[in-house]
């Protein structure tokens, strides 16, 4: 090997060592990100990049300093409700509910029925439904995204057809709390209200909160839980949802810390296994958030509109009585109430086509949501109202509820 070849080989070996050590980017000194910053990375302001995990840890360390306050608030509320102590309501084994279990036989076989209860002669896909409405020359809400591969405009209607089809299978019965003997709906509300604060402190994605809510209800509908383990169910559900939705999820030790070491790492991991087995590892479920993202597009919603609708639908999460409404109806109703609050838009054929609900079908749920919106400022569980009263969220929680809704 001549001198030039040896020098070239030496340069390559030296560069390879630096690449492996992480000191030189693979693309060279001026490497760039093909898709931009698509992770949870943040600029450090020192000429470098901070990894998403470091950002999560830093956010966690900052936010966890406030966790003792959150935990104290949680314990104060749960002590009044009887969680972890003697409940003023007593045991709930004799509790009755005004809501009957939802019949989901249509989702797994048997005679299909329409929303009005009439027998359906044919199961229609969402794509066929939209194409049928398109014959009336409705505007194409995906027209501006045809060149955007991330919008998957070729498949989006089929995706939502699937969500509408499987939604009944993932919706819990509105009276599932009847199987529980040591907890009640008020304790559930306190838990979810606390998790809203934890979710905000960890700066997690909105999808994570809605999936956490879904996992808690589906698990409690299947297994009897003691009051001392209810918070364990909550933090485990958020851990699972974070693993599913987040790029850099909080670690188990973070959830041990926020529960003030009330539960060990082993207890959380054991509950995680139990929860996954009870749910059949079925985590891909439609939530109000998925539907709302589509309905926003149909409504041509701006940022304020989206934040207001998000506030309205999140306000319904702790309320046990709202479980009788499917997620798609909750999403549609939140959009409807936001329309009426801001005076933007009408419930027209475009909204009916993409939500599959008429205005008359939405009104009962919309009235219930408007009542929650109107009472949110004075409610004892105020995590959602405080969150959306922040200027970061355009203080949409301070907007008055629309006249004519929820006033009865």
Structure tokens at 212: 């956490």
Query: What is the distance between the alpha carbons of residues 180 and 175, in angstroms, rounded to a whole number?
Result: 10
Dump the DSSP string for 231-261: HHHHHHHHHHHHHHH-SSPPPHHHHHHHTTT
Q: Nearest-CA neighbor of 342 among 279, 272, 405?
A: 405
Looking at residue 353, the DSSP 8-state letter turns out to be H
pLDDT bucket at 131, cuts 50 / 70 / 90:
low
Q: What is the DSSP letter of 178?
A: G
Most confident by average pLDDT, 88-97, 100-109, 114-123, 281-290: 281-290
Measuring CA to CA, how many Å separate 405 from each of 286, 308, 348, 363? 27, 16, 18, 8
The Cβ-side half-sphere exposure at 115, using a 13 Å CA radius, reads: 13
Higher pLDDT, 20 or 312: 312
| 15, pLDDT greater than 70 | no
- Specify which residues 43 forms β-bridges with: 49
Longest Cα–Cα distance of the chain, Å, equals: 92
For domain 60-97+174-278, which architecture applies? Orthogonal Bundle (1.10)
CA end-to-end distance (rounded Å), the chain? 92
d(CA 323, CA 318): 10
Confidence category of residue 97, pLDDT binned at 50, 70, 90: very low
Q: Taking a C-beta distance cutoff of 8 angstroms, is the pair 179, 240 a contact?
A: no
Whether residue 133 has pLDDT greater than 80: no
pLDDT at 386 over 50: yes
Whether residue 366 has pLDDT greater than 90: yes
Percent of the chain with pLDDT over 90: 59
Domain range list for the chain: 60-97+174-278, 288-398
Q: Kindly indicate the confidence band of residue 152, based on its pLDDT and cuts at 50, 70 and 90.
A: confident
| Cα–Cα distance for residue pair 170/286, rounded to 1 Å | 8
Mean pLDDT of the chain: 79
> Identical fold at 60-97+174-278 and 288-398?
yes
How far is residue 259's CA from residue 195's CA, in Å, rounded to a whole number? 11
- Calpha distance 243→276 (Å, rounded): 13
With a CB cutoff of 8 Å and minimum separation 6, the contacts of 211 are: 240, 241, 244, 245, 283, 285, 287
Q: How far apart are CA 326 and CA 334, in angstroms?
A: 12
Q: What is the pLDDT of residue 323?
A: 96
Question: 288-398, what's its fold?
Answer: Cyclin A; domain 1 (1.10.472)
Task: Specify the residue for token string 């030039």.
Answer: 4
d(CA 23, CA 10): 17
**Alpha-carbon span 216 to 203, nearest angstrom:** 20
Pairing between β-strand 42-43 and β-strand 49-50 as defined by DSSP bridges = antiparallel
């Amino acid at each position: 090997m001549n001198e030039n070849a040896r020098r070239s080989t030496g340069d390559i070996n030296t560069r390879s060592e630096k690449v492996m050590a992480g000191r030189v980017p693979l693309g060279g000194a001026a490497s760039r990100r093909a898709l931009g910053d698509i992770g949870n990375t943040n600029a450090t302001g020192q000429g470098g990049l901070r990894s998403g995990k470091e950002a999560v840890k830093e956010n966690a360390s900052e936010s966890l300093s406030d966790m003792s306050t959150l935990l104290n608030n949680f314990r104060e509320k749960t002590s009044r409700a009887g969680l972890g102590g003697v409940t003023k309501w007593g045991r709930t084994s004799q509790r009755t509910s005004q809501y009957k279990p939802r019949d989901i036989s249509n989702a797994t076989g048997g005679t299909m029925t329409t929303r009005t209860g009439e027998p359906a002669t044919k199961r229609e896909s969402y794509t066929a439904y939209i194409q049928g409405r398109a014959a009336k020359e409705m505007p194409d809400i995906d027209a501006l995204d045809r060149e955007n591969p991330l919008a998957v405009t070729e498949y989006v209607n089929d995706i939502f057809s699937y969500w509408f089809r499987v939604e009944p299978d993932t919706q819990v019965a509105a009276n599932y709390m009847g199987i529980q003997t040591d907890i009640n709906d008020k304790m559930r509300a306190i838990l979810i209200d606390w998790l809203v604060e934890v979710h905000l402190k960890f700066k997690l994605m909105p999808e994570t909160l809605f999936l956490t809510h879904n996992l808690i209800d589906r698990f409690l509908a299947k297994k009897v839980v003691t009051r001392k383990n209810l918070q364990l169910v909550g933090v485990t559900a958020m851990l699972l949802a974070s693993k599913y939705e987040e790029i850099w999820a909080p670690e188990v030790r973070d959830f041990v810390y926020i529960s003030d070491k009330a539960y060990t790492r082993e207890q959380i991991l054991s509950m995680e296994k139990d929860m996954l087995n009870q749910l059949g590892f079925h985590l891909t479920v439609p939530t109000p958030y998925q539907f709302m993202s589509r309905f926003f597009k149909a409504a041509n919603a701006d940022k304020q509109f989206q934040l207001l609708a998000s506030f309205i639908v999140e306000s319904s999460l702790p309320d046990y009585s709202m479980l009788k409404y499917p997620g798609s109806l909750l999403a549609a109703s939140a959009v409807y109430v936001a329309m009426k609050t801001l005076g933007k838009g009408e419930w027209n054929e475009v909204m009916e086509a993409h939500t599959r609900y008429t205005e008359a079908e939405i009104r009962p749920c919309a009235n219930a949501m408007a009542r929650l919106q109107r009472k949110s400022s004075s409610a004892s569980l105020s995590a959602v109202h405080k969150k959306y009263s922040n200027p970061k969220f355009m203080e949409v929680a301070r907007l008055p509820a629309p006249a004519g809704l929820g006033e009865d």
